[in-house]
């Protein structure tokens, strides 16, 4: 009986602690974080590509592949994704979107900085011109809040 009573007492203490933590969350009123994401895959048909001169990765060139050519698969690269995070508790606010079609990648991301400004980056890249990014910072003017308005006599 004493063993069961001690176990019951421990369970009640844990439940009281959990209830206390839950009530503090309600009382303190920290906002809820938000996040979302999406991914659109555009998988095309994969085509077999025969790789000649493959030696099984041994570097000897003696045909360790049993006389058969190595087969790899190639599918046209195409995708799109994005995500967004808004966490008022930590101040983590950011988003990104990117899409690729073949050798061309385009996208943007936005990140809220600790000073209140927002960094916006638009980027694109391809195999001919390389990677390019346009970075802009928008300023956010923080207006000080004064508790009293009007005249003081």
Is pLDDT at 142 greater than 50 in this prediction?
yes
From residue 52, give the alpha-carbon distance in Å to each of 46, 57, 68, 93.
19, 13, 9, 50
Q: What pLDDT, on a 0 to 100 scale, did the predictor assign at position 27?
A: 47
Q: For a pLDDT cut of 90, what percent of the chain falls above it?
A: 31
Nearest alpha carbon to residue 97 among 110, 82, 79: 82
The top-scoring range by mean pLDDT among 2-11, 35-44, 133-142 is 133-142
pTM: 0.53
Q: Where do the domains of the chain lie?
A: 1-30, 34-138
Q: Tens digit of pLDDT for each residue in 12-52?
A: 676 666 666 555 554 455 556 767 676 777 777 777 777 76
Q: What pLDDT, on a 0 to 100 scale, did the predictor assign at position 38?
A: 66
Q: Tens digit of pLDDT for each residue in 71-96?
A: 777 788 899 999 999 988 888 999 99
Contact call for residues 100 and 58 (beta carbons, < 8 A): no
Strand, helix or coil for residue 44: coil
Q: What pLDDT, on a 0 to 100 scale, did the predictor assign at position 136?
A: 95
């Amino acid at each position: 009986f004493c063993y069961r009573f001690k176990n019951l007492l421990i369970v009640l203490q844990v439940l009281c602690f959990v209830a206390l933590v839950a009530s503090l969350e309600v009382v303190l009123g920290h906002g809820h974080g938000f996040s979302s994401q999406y991914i659109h895959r555009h998988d095309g048909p994969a085509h077999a590509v025969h790789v000649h001169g493959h030696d099984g990765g041994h570097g000897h060139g003696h045909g360790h592949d049993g006389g058969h050519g190595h087969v790899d698969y190639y599918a046209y690269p195409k995708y799109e994704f994005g995500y967004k995070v808004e966490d008022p508790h930590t101040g983590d606010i950011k988003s990104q979107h990117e899409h690729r079609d073949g050798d061309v990648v385009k996208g943007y991301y936005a990140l809220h900085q600790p000073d209140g400004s927002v960094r916006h980056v638009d980027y694109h890249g391809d195999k001919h011109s390389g990677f390019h990014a346009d970075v802009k910072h928008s300023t956010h003017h923080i207006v000080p809040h004064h508790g009293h308005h009007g005249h003081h006599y």
